[in-house]
Structure 1
């Protein structure tokens, strides 16, 4: 752990020692993590930390940073330590009740925005909303877009509601505790979802930052990773939703596209993330097959 007896005081010395500690426990991004955590303590942007290397930390700042590094050495995600995570154009509050929003999920937002622009103004239902990052990013980027976020976790919905209030979006974002969208009228709505899609047998192979800290219920997609997605698609089959967009795991785009076609959707499209993986599957109802209300 952090050797308190040394008590380095300059930003440069503290930074070097913290990077070394994180490197020793297998952290793959020690310099970045230290810059973020130091930035939090010093009230600086991570990039600005490098410009303040000769500054000295106060005893209070040293103590705060010491506690942050102790948590990171235990593989606690940086976002849980700082309490926030940047996503698209917003910052959202996060804690261990919700997944940390991932960069690849920003693609889900973009595809949803593109479809919303295409089909015209309609309600967006964000299934498995968690922190509310997806739905709130959508509302922030389209001033007339209304979103309904659903989740089975009350604690996650509390976080989402806090984020909506913090972002001044309570007038266009609401949340409901339900499985999928059970009991909710979604005729003419666009459904977007980042649901658990990791096969149960692969959960134990996840990095400790995820395995030991993030909520398993938000990760575990059952035997083939598609149990929860399949359940929501089954609900969609009996709905009048105008379209659906799902984030998926590796090698899941084709089977999810087939599920959507079997549920009465057409015009399916597959979208790739920056790493080249098929990450998002989108589908619309055939023209004339829905009645907008």
Structure 2
């Protein structure tokens, strides 16, 4: 038999990652790793922890190993079928909420929803909002629906299987449209590094210059926006200027980019007057 303290000391992973995996295996909270650190662990628990640690050592993301990732204060289910929610994307949620701050019963469209993290976070913060969430992957939509059922009270998110806006009811008009589209260029070496190797390629790259999805959405969004409706994107660290130019060329006004906590221009958007 071994105890938690000994198992963590022997683990080659960074301490934080080792603790997360052990808490997952044992179903313990962090405080229990301190208060119960010399409690004998079962051989099954040790074996499961060591198996997960080996997979992490081979590069598999922590979120996929535990099946969960926290985002905007909510705990989302994660599978290999969806992009892992990241802290910098919380800026997109904040911008969407700011855009609908004065609206009553606003309508929100999330394009490329994945886990549903953006759409569900908005719906959770604004229970009066009606939110539509689109993804072309049925497997991703299954994950998002499950997250919505677990995290939201009431049927406030409508999920649509669609290639961007193709299957969205053309009579709808939204106060804000948001998207975290695939924006990594196909030749970017980061696609072969770290967690990205295990995430769905179609959620990461357009297999082109990283801007094709953004071009498509900018072209289609005005047909679905309410008067003075807002469109906001997450994009790559070096794409803000290009996205602003595309928005302005399409007729958007008050175009601007917002920086994330690392000081990177992470999101760009503007308003459209119908």
TM-score by length of 2: 0.92
Is 1:198 the counterpart of 2:184? The answer is yes
Uncovered stretches (5+) of structure 2, i.e. residues with no partner = none
Uncovered stretches (5+) of structure 1, i.e. residues with no partner = 1-7, 23-29
CA contact (8 A) 2:124 2:152 kept: no
Distance change in 2, residues 1:205/1:193 (3 Å): closer
**Other-structure match for 1:262:** 249
**Other-structure match for 1:38:** 22
CA-based RMSD of the aligned residues comes to: 1.8
As a proportion of its length, which structure holds more strand?
2
Shift of 1:52: 3.4
Within 1, Cα distance between the matches of 2:159 and 2:60?
Answer: 28
**Other-structure match for 2:10:** 17
**Other-structure match for 1:55:** 39
CA contact (8 A) 1:124 1:189 kept: yes
SS in 2 for 1:201: coil
Distance change in 2, residues 1:50/1:280 (3 Å): farther
Distance change in 2, residues 1:47/1:79 (3 Å): farther
Is 1:150 the counterpart of 2:110? The answer is no
**Other-structure match for 2:199:** 214
CA contact (8 A) 1:35 1:47 kept: no
Which string of whole-angstrom CA distances, capped at 9 and with x for unpartnered residues, describes residues 113-168 of structure 1?
Answer: 11111455321101000010110011111121221100110100010011111113
Is 1:88 the counterpart of 2:81? The answer is no
Over 6 Å off, 4+ runs: none
CA contact (8 A) 1:237 1:264 kept: no
Q: How do residues 64-143 of structure 1 correspond to structure 2 at under 5 angstroms? A: 64-143=48-127
Is 1:234 the counterpart of 2:219? The answer is yes
Shift of 1:56: 2.2
State the number of aligned residues. 270
